[in-house]
Structure formats: C-alpha cells, structure tokens
C-alpha cells in the first residue's frame, strides 16, 4: 500500500511538472505573439519578432523591436576624418567656447566623443564647416543593386553604394490633396497626416520635391556633374562631387518615393519654425532627418535640413533615440540590404 501511494504521488508530481512546463511554453508563445502584434511593422506581426531571427540574436542582443541603441558608435578621431586640416575644427570650437580650445582638443582626442557631438555639431549646422570638401573626394564605385523586402520596403537603403532595381515600380499619390508633388502612396498618407497636424499649429510643410523618376534623377545628376566638370574637375571627381549633393539615378530616396524635400532646398531651412516642428514631431509620422550635419562622414552627403525620409513610425523613433543616421542604424540592427539576384528576386512594387 505504501509503495502504491508513493508511486501515485510520483505520478502526480510528474504530471504537475509536465503541466507547468507546457503552460510556460504556451505562455511564452502567446506573449511573443502578442508582443509582436503590438509593436509590429504597420500593425502586423512578422517573423522579425522571434528570438530565432538573426537580426536579433546576432546583431542585437535584445527582444525589443525595433531595437534602440543607448549610444552611437564611436566616430573616428578628427585627425582621421580631416587629416592635416584643423583650422575649421579650431574655429568652430573657438566660436562656441571663447578661445578655449585646449579642453575641447583634450576631451576629443582622449576618446570622449560626447563634447564633439554636443559642442561641435551646432557649429557644423550653422555652416562653419562642411566635411565634404575636395580633400574628401573619393572615386565612386558601381553601386550594388539591392533586393527590397516587401515587409520592410520602408527601410530600403539607397545611397552612392546601393541602388534600387532599375525596374522597381513605385505606386505614387499626391503628397497632400491637390499637390502635383508625389510620394509613394503609403508614404503620402502619412505625409498628409503630418501636414495637417502641423497646419493646426500654423506650420505649413509645403511639398517641394518628392518622388522622382529614374530618368529625372539621371538628368539632375548629369547636370550637377557637368557643373563640376566646367569648374575643371576630372570626370571621376565631378561625379563624386555631384553625388555629395544629388545621388546618382537609382540611388536616391526620391526614386523610391520615400523622401520629401520640404518647402525648398535652402541651407537656412534649419532656422525656420517648420524645421523646429519637424525635429519635434516628424518621428510621430514616421519621418527622420536623412542627412544630419554630424553624420556627413558616414552618409557622404552634405547636410540637408530640408530632406526628410520615411522609415515608419516605430523605426523613426528608434533611430532618433539611438542618435544614428540610417546607415548606422541598419548596420547595427543587422538590416543592411542584400544584393539583388537576377532571376530569383522579383523587382517588387512599392
């Protein structure tokens, strides 16, 4: 009798353990599914939310999605970025700190980049220094044609290293009702929302330049290249200089219909109420400043306070919170583009 009682007790304990383990697994699955749906891309759960996804397990040791990074990667030393030319650096610092350059130099060269970020960047913003001068010209290589994921179409990275497929189709719509400036249709909806919200506060984010066809981008780039050729630059130098201002065809956010130049391409746009409003609220509608002043050495594009790129609300907030530009963020999150494979990848429709 005692033996049977012990045996029954053992079976009961084993059953309880099995039930607890099963409940735990079910709870985990339900929690992950609910979490994915709550923070999903455009309200949808995707495989990116599982802990088996390489973007989370290798690049980002967290289950939070989109990931937020507590600090941006350490930038190279000033001497590396601008070899032999310290005068703009000194001038920028002197203006802000009344001639005391010693502490700034000591802080920066000791590896502490925070003074550079917080003190030097405002000077760059006001045009004291532009890193994309002749000393930084690099011959452009042929860009890699990328595959655009249907579930992450809004994170497609195009720049002078990456190009969209030439036959990628973008479905467009007016950026705001009645405008002849277009955006990718889904982005246009968000831009209209942002425009209306700003208008309620007396801020008018007039669309200036949105979607551009491949052909129009090619013409714009050719004209800018010719401008530099006429100044005596070689063809390779002229193309590289032009790409600092206008991306080659297929390499621009505008070709994807994901970016808007707002009001005008004016260097002083950063001084306007419209720019201040965008800095405070654009992320709420999925837009980020695409080419910040302090990221020129990464983007290889001049500071453009008027150029705002759509990346989705969740990612806009995560990118801004991480203090990164789009290139930095996608690299850190394991979301850099993959090459387009002819005959395997569909060019897709935006």
Torsion 19-21-23-29 (CA) sign: negative
Query: What are the pLDDT digits (tens) for 151-170?
Result: 999 999 999 899 999 889 99
What is the pLDDT averaged over residues 221-248?
91
What is the pLDDT averaged over residues 24-39?
36
Q: What is the spatial distance between Cα 153 and Cα 150, in angstroms, rounded to a whole number?
A: 5
Provide CB contacts within 8 A for 128, sequence distance 6+: 88, 91, 92, 95
Selecting among 184, 274, 283, 304, the annotated active-site residue is 304
Judge whether residue 46 has pLDDT over 50.
no
pLDDT at 109: 30
- pTM equals 0.67
What is the pLDDT averaged over residues 221-231?
94
Q: What is the spatial distance between Cα 148 and Cα 155, in angstroms, rounded to a whole number?
A: 9
Show the tokens assigned to 158: 């195009």
Which range (6-15, 22-31, 335-344) has the least confidence?
Answer: 22-31
Judge whether residue 8 has pLDDT over 80.
no
What is the pLDDT averaged over residues 126-146?
69
pLDDT at 53: 34
101-124 burial, b for 16+ CB within 10 Å, e for fewer? beebbeebeeeebebbeebbbebb
Residue 284 annotated as catalytic: no
Show the tokens assigned to 225: 């290249």
pLDDT at 121: 34
Torsion 75-76-81-82 (CA) sign: positive
Query: What are the pLDDT digits (tens) for 185-217?
Result: 999 999 999 999 999 999 999 999 999 999 999
Neighbours of 224 (CB within 10 A): 18
């Amino acid at each position: 009798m005692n033996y049977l009682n012990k045996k029954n007790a053992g079976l009961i304990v084993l059953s309880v353990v099995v039930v607890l383990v099963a409940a735990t697994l079910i709870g985990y699955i339900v929690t992950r599914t609910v979490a994915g749906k709550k923070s999903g891309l455009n309200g949808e759960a995707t495989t990116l939310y599982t802990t088996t996804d390489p973007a989370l397990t290798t690049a980002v040791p967290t289950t939070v999605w989109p990931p937020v990074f507590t600090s941006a990667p350490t930038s190279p030393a000033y001497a590396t970025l601008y070899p032999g030319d310290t005068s703009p650096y000194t001038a920028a610092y002197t203006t802000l700190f009344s001639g005391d350059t010693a502490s700034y130099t000591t802080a920066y060269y000791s590896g502490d980049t925070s003074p550079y970020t917080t003190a030097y960047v405002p000077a760059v913003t006001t045009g004291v220094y532009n890193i994309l001068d002749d000393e930084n010209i690099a011959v452009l290589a042929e860009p890699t044609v990328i595959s655009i994921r249907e579930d992450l179409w809004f994170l497609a990275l195009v720049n002078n290293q990456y190009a969209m497929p030439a036959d990628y189709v973008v479905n467009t719509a007016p950026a705001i009702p009645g405008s002849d400036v277009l955006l990718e249709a889904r982005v246009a909806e968000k831009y209209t929302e942002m425009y209306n919200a700003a208008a309620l506060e007396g801020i008018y984010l007039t669309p200036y330049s949105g979607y551009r066809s491949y052909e129009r981008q090619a013409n714009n780039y050719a004209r800018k290249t010719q401008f530099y050729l006429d100044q005596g630059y070689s063809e390779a130098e002229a193309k590289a200089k032009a790409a600092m201002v206008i991306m080659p065809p297929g390499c621009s956010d505008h070709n994807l219909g994901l970016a808007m130049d707002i009001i005008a391409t004016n260097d002083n746009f950063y001084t306007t109420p419209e720019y201040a409003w965008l800095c405070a609220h654009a992320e709420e509608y999925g837009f980020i400043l695409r080419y910040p002043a302090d990221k020129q050495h990464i983007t290889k594009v001049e500071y453009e306070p008027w150029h705002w790129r759509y990346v989705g609300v969740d990612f806009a907030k995560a990118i801004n919170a991480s203090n990164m530009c789009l290139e930095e963020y996608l690299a850190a999150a394991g979301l850099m583009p993959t090459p387009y494979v002819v005959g395997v990848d569909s060019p897709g429709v935006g």
